[in-house]
Amino acid sequence: MLLSMTGFGKATAENRNRKFTVEIKSLNSKQLDLVSRIPSAYREIEADVRNTIASSLQRGKVEVSVNVENLSKESDVTINFNRVAFYKSQIEQMAEQLNLPTPADWYSVLMRCPEVFHTDSSSEMCDDDRAAISQALEGAINSLTEFRAQEGRKLEEFFKLRIERIRELLAQVPQYETQRTEKIRSRIEEQLKQIPKADYDRGRFEQEMIFYIEKLDISEEKQRLAQHLDYFIETLAAEPGQGKKLGFISQEMGREINTLGSKSNQADMQILVVKMKDELEQIKEQVLNAL
């Protein structure tokens, strides 16, 4: 089964005092690149959160955020009146010394100043909070994994379509091979005829022609490319986490297709090679999203 690295997951959990919401976003990346946004009162669980995500998601550019909502009737946030008074005094002194007007709306100015709001020690994390966060985190990871699976199924269908298209193009190559060798022989013989009084050993000529045509033989390239196509499809059906392997296989496919192009020496065959390259480039672009 194929999984995409792109996804989004969200889950909530609550206890008698607080509601916790965990959101996880994921994009493609060669390694695990994790950014966490956790309230300062809950920083002690950051290492556990990162370890849980790393073991579950493996790769991707991941962003996780933990939001806390107070459910109790009494708020655990108070206004620091001393700090507000200090800011107001400072602003009035600045206005007097610089001949500036005082704010028309003191509330909007003072409420944006640092450390105006004070969080009581009772808002610090307890065991119930830790359990609720773990529950929400697990739910968000499961939601993200399901999202990745849905995107992975779309990728799998896309890859199968592209692979089948390359297979169809490869099946058209043999019809041009005989024609290609005949044209090579005819072209060389015509060039020899243009040389005045050219005298050559016909047997030696045939030996050289065989040697030259063998150098342009593409039987092995066709066979290896067909094997790579089969291996790519087999890998799609393997366990999740095969994205890098699929990338390596697509690179090998590219080498065989490039060799076919360099050996083709025939316009119609080169057109087929160009079409194969186009299909392969689409595979390479999307395989970066595969886990």
pLDDT at 56 over 80: yes
Percent of the chain whose pLDDT exceeds 90? 42
Domain, as residue range, for 45: 7-74+127-148
In the structure, what pLDDT confidence band is assigned to residue 175 with cuts at 50, 70 and 90? Answer: confident
- pLDDT value for 121: 44
Of residues 49, 62, 63, 272, the one with CA closest to residue 166: 272
Using CB atoms within 10 Å of the CB of residue 103, give its burial: 0 to 12 exposed, 13 to 18 middle, 19+ buried.
middle
Stretch 223-237: mean pLDDT = 93
H or E stretch at 10 = strand 7-14
- pLDDT value for 79: 84
Stretch 224-245: mean pLDDT = 91
The DSSP secondary-structure symbol of 101 reads P
pLDDT at 198 over 70: no
Instruction: Note whether 251 and 135 are same-domain residues.
Output: no
CA distance 95 to 250: 68
CA distance 257 to 222: 9
Stretch 73-98: mean pLDDT = 83
pLDDT at 74 over 60: no
Instruction: Note whether 186 and 263 are same-domain residues.
Output: yes
Using CB atoms within 10 Å of the CB of residue 91, give its burial: 0 to 12 exposed, 13 to 18 middle, 19+ buried.
middle
- pLDDT value for 214: 65
Instruction: Note whether 43 and 66 are same-domain residues.
Output: yes
H or E stretch at 28 = none
In the structure, what pLDDT confidence band is assigned to residue 122 with cuts at 50, 70 and 90? Answer: very low
DSSP string, 208-235: HHHHHHHHT--HHHHHHHHHHHHHHHHH
Number of domains in the chain: 3
- On whether residue 2 sits in a domain, the answer given is no
At residue 37, what are phi and psi to the nearest 5 degrees?
Answer: -125, 100
* 34: its two tokens: 């994790």
- pLDDT value for 149: 92
Instruction: Note whether 133 and 35 are same-domain residues.
Output: yes
* 17: its two tokens: 């005092």
Of residues 246, 241, 233, the one with CA closest to residue 145: 241
Instruction: Note whether 182 and 136 are same-domain residues.
Output: no
* 190: its two tokens: 């015509």
Instruction: Note whether 154 and 255 are same-domain residues.
Output: yes
Of the candidate ranges 54-63, 125-134, 201-210, the one whose mean pLDDT is the lowest: 201-210
The pLDDT tens digits of the residues spanning 247-284 come to 999 999 999 999 888 887 778 888 999 999 999 999 99
Stretch 220-241: mean pLDDT = 91
| Higher local confidence (pLDDT), 195 or 176 | 176
According to the per-residue pLDDT averaged within each range, which of 75-84, 194-203, 222-231 is highest? 222-231
| Interstrand relation of 77-79 and 117-119 (parallel, antiparallel or unpaired) | antiparallel
Instruction: Note whether 34 and 105 are same-domain residues.
Output: no
What is the overall mean pLDDT for the chain? 85
At residue 58, what are phi and psi to the nearest 5 degrees?
Answer: 65, -65
pLDDT at 25 over 70: yes
- pLDDT value for 146: 93
Instruction: Note whether 176 and 238 are same-domain residues.
Output: yes
pLDDT at 140 over 50: yes
Instruction: Note whether 207 and 94 are same-domain residues.
Output: no
In the structure, what pLDDT confidence band is assigned to residue 162 with cuts at 50, 70 and 90? Answer: very high
Per-state percent for the chain, helix, strand, coil, to nearest 5: 65, 15, 20
